[in-house]
């Protein structure tokens, strides 16, 4: 990492971004600087033309519009930093257009597929009890994987049946948890001390007693989905998406689902209603069409 990128990284750290967001900003700008270096152009001399060319380059590399848009936001932040450092007089992004972002339809599991997945962990082992509790909590609450991995033992109240989702720089939300998740948490908590060799307050720990990473969570989720014979490209948000669709499918109010998910706008939740309606249409078609 060259000096200017290090200084930009230090500048962005002051904004109290999450480590994942900070890494994304730095990675995006680094890619742009490499692109400029190949053209033998300094970042100081870069114009709208070069930035638009980089956008097209990313598109040619198969990057999604959302990823390209994020890169352009990172590049704009980089030039705002340079402006503040008095290294240039204007930000060269007046005529740069971000590609249109179309919200993808989230992939969800059926209720039967979720049941298969949640039954995969071996609950005779500490690891299996942890995995079972973690997956049950995710499906019971619809929390993001980052939220799940940051739950403290002090954020859960099994007697009152809720979890306090405490997110930095965001409004906290209290999420109810059902009997299945509570039972699994109780079983896991009986043996959590076998993993907690570093006196951590985090609820879910990896086998070394440290905080589990997103990658670690993804690996165990992928492994269990394969064991369950689920032939869908599952990701770390699949249970969250399935939680939302299944609530609507069983009559939950849209505003309630919005609040449980922590969405600021109802429009972000609306996509789950569309999935539910599409699923319903498909089911009716299969029932009614003689050649379906």
What's the rounded Cα separation, in Å, for the pair 170 and 77? 22
Interhelix angle 238-249/266-288, nearest 10 degrees: 70
What's the rounded Cα separation, in Å, for the pair 272 and 256? 13
Query: Which pLDDT score is estimated for 103?
Result: 65
Place of tokens 């060319």: 53
Output b/e per residue, 20-53; b: 16+ Cβ within 10 A.
eeeebbbebbbbbbebbeeeeeebeebeeebbeb
Which residues are part of the catalytic machinery? Answer: 168, 240, 263, 272
Model confidence over 188-216: pLDDT tens digits? 999 999 999 999 999 999 999 999 999 99
Query: Which pLDDT score is estimated for 16?
Result: 76
Query: Which pLDDT score is estimated for 290?
Result: 79
Domains of the chain, with CATH numbers?
Answer: 3-84 (1.10.150.130), 111-288 (1.10.443.10)
Q: Which two three-digit tokens encode residue 178?
A: 């059902």
Residues of the chain with pLDDT under 50: 1
Model confidence over 12-60: pLDDT tens digits? 888 877 788 888 889 999 999 999 999 999 999 888 888 989 988 988 8
DSSP 3-state of 175:
strand
Q: Does pTM surpass 0.75? A: no
Contacts for 55 with CB less than 8 Å, ≥ 6 apart: 68, 71, 72, 96, 98, 99
Give the gyration radius of the chain's Cα atoms: 23
Sheet containing 173-176: which strands, arranged edge to edge? 156-157, 162-165, 173-176
Classify the C-alpha dihedral 266-267-272-278 as positive or negative: positive
């Amino acid at each position: 990492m060259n000096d200017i990128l290090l200084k930009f990284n230090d500048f962005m750290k002051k904004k109290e971004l999450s480590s994942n967001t900070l890494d994304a900003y730095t990675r995006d700008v680094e890619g742009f600087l490499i692109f400029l270096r190949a053209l033998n152009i300094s970042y100081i001399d870069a114009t709208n033309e070069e930035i638009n060319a980089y956008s097209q380059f990313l598109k040619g590399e198969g990057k999604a519009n959302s990823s390209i848009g994020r890169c352009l936001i990172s590049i704009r932040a980089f030039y705002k930093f340079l402006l503040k450092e008095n290294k240039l007089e204007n930000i060269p992004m007046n005529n740069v257009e971000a590609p249109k972002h179309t919200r993808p339809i989230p992939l969800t599991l059926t209720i039967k597929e979720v049941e298969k997945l949640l039954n995969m962990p071996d609950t005779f082992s500490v690891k299996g009890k942890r995995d079972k509790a973690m997956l049950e909590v995710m499906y019971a609450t619809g929390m993001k994987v980052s939220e799940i991995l940051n739950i403290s033992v002090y954020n859960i109240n099994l007697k009152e049946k809720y979890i306090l989702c405490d997110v930095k720089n965001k409004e906290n939300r209290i999420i109810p948890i059902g009997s299945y998740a509570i039972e699994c948490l109780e079983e896991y908590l009986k043996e959590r001390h076998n993993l907690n060799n570093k006196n951590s307050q985090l609820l879910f720990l990896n086998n070394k007693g440290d905080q589990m990473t997103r990658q670690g969570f993804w690996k165990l989720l992928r492994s269990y989905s394969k064991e369950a014979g689920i032939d869908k490209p599952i990701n770390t948000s699949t249970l969250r998406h399935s939680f939302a669709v299944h609530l609507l499918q069983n009559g939950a109010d849209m505003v309630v689902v919005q609040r449980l998910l922590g969405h600021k706008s109802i429009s972000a939740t609306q996509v789950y209603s569309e999935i539910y309606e599409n699923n319903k249409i498909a089911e009716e078609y299969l029932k009614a069409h003689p050649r379906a």
